[in-house]
A = this chain, B = another copy of it.
């Protein structure tokens, strides 16, 4: 694996050199992990002029889920508790004779930035911007394999829940049980706080579970994901509780399903982000639900749950092959509830069979 990280760092170094900085300081945890294989709490990565250094406040964890630092990196663990690895890294950069250092201004606080300046006043601080986030958008097959395993785990956890009695249980309990099952099946942990929404809450994106209990006739919408070796997938489904869904429930479900399918089918290398969003959105729009729509209908996944690209009306850019994204339109009707359907897929060219669906739980409207 070591070569993978070295190659990633080499690509970033090219970008830095092209932008005129010889050294870069990576502080955003997912970016540190992407480039060095692990991100112990508070660790930063110095892409140095003559050596790359992973600077840690605490020694790297020995759990496989946390990853292992690339052995090609120098490893520095701060001796003094409470020290800032970023400040130490700026000192190293200065000691290596770097004249400029690109930092992640979207992650570093003003106070830390000032501390870097004061420890190394000769160093010119530049902005690295989201260079690492951009490198992370297209995944290699190793990364996709982690997402695929995470999706299998989430599918299993969800499948088991559906076999249990649901009526009378609270949203909070169902969410906790799902999270326990994710870990049972080998996840590092949940990819994000599991969302379970019943009745009038159903269909809300990111709904945080309450003490409301599942009732006969409810819509139940569930959104969960597993983290596997740091990679986070996402799946969302909506069910109906009881034997026969009401007409409005069937209609709303069919509509959201059609929107989600339109989104999925528009995934292709070269498709504009906004066109994928529009494909899903216009199905709901033309049925009169323009007001009830979320700001986005999907997003990238990887070392973070919500990463680039954003599939939204104003998003700029086009999909590439090997970009994993969610497609997750939904409609929530205040006071009544609603439907969300959410898959993780990998963009693949037509010749390879088109988009690869990672989350394979059925999207039929199940009555539980």
Chain A residues engaging chain B, CB cutoff 8 angstroms: 61, 63, 66, 81-82, 103, 105-111, 113-114, 127, 172-173, 176, 179-180, 183-184, 208, 210, 295-296, 310, 312
Contact of A106 among B63, B106, B109, B312 (CB under 8 A): B109
Complex Cα–Cα for A127 and B113 (A): 14
A352 to chain B, nearest CB (A): 33
Complex Cα–Cα for A281 and B208 (A): 42
Complex Cα–Cα for A106 and B108 (A): 9
Q: Chain B residues near A295: list those with CB within 8 A.
A: 81-82
Given contacts A82-B295, A105-B109, A105-B114, 5 further A-B contacts (CB under 8 A): A66-B208, A105-B111, A106-B109, A107-B109, A173-B183
Provided the pairs A105-B114, A107-B109, A109-B109 are in contact, do residues A176 and B183 lie with their beta carbons within 8 angstroms?
Answer: yes
Q: Chain B residues near A127: list those with CB within 8 A.
A: 110-111
Q: Chain B residues near A61: list those with CB within 8 A.
A: 208
B105 & A63 in contact (Cβ 8 Å cutoff): no
Complex Cα–Cα for A69 and B63 (A): 41
Contact of A105 among B110, B172, B184, B210 (CB under 8 A): B110
In the assembled complex, 16 residue pairs joining A and B whose CB atoms fall closer than 8 Å, in A order, are A63-B208, A63-B210, A66-B208, A81-B295, A81-B312, A103-B110, A105-B109, A106-B109, A106-B110, A106-B111, A108-B109, A108-B110, A109-B110, A111-B127, A173-B180, A173-B183
CB-nearest residue of chain B to A114 = B105
Q: Chain B residues near A208: list those with CB within 8 A.
A: 61, 63, 66
Complex Cα–Cα for A180 and B176 (A): 6
A317 to chain B, nearest CB (A): 15
Q: Chain B residues near A66: list those with CB within 8 A.
A: 208
A57 to chain B, nearest CB (A): 10
Q: Chain B residues near A106: list those with CB within 8 A.
A: 109-111
CB-nearest residue of chain B to A103 = B110
A38 to chain B, nearest CB (A): 13
Q: Chain B residues near A312: list those with CB within 8 A.
A: 81-82
A159 to chain B, nearest CB (A): 19
A79 to chain B, nearest CB (A): 11
CB-nearest residue of chain B to A62 = B210
Q: Chain B residues near A113: list those with CB within 8 A.
A: 110
A102 to chain B, nearest CB (A): 12
Complex Cα–Cα for A296 and B82 (A): 10
B172 & A183 in contact (Cβ 8 Å cutoff): yes
A127 to chain B, nearest CB (A): 8
Q: Chain B residues near A114: list those with CB within 8 A.
A: 105
Q: Chain B residues near A172: list those with CB within 8 A.
A: 183
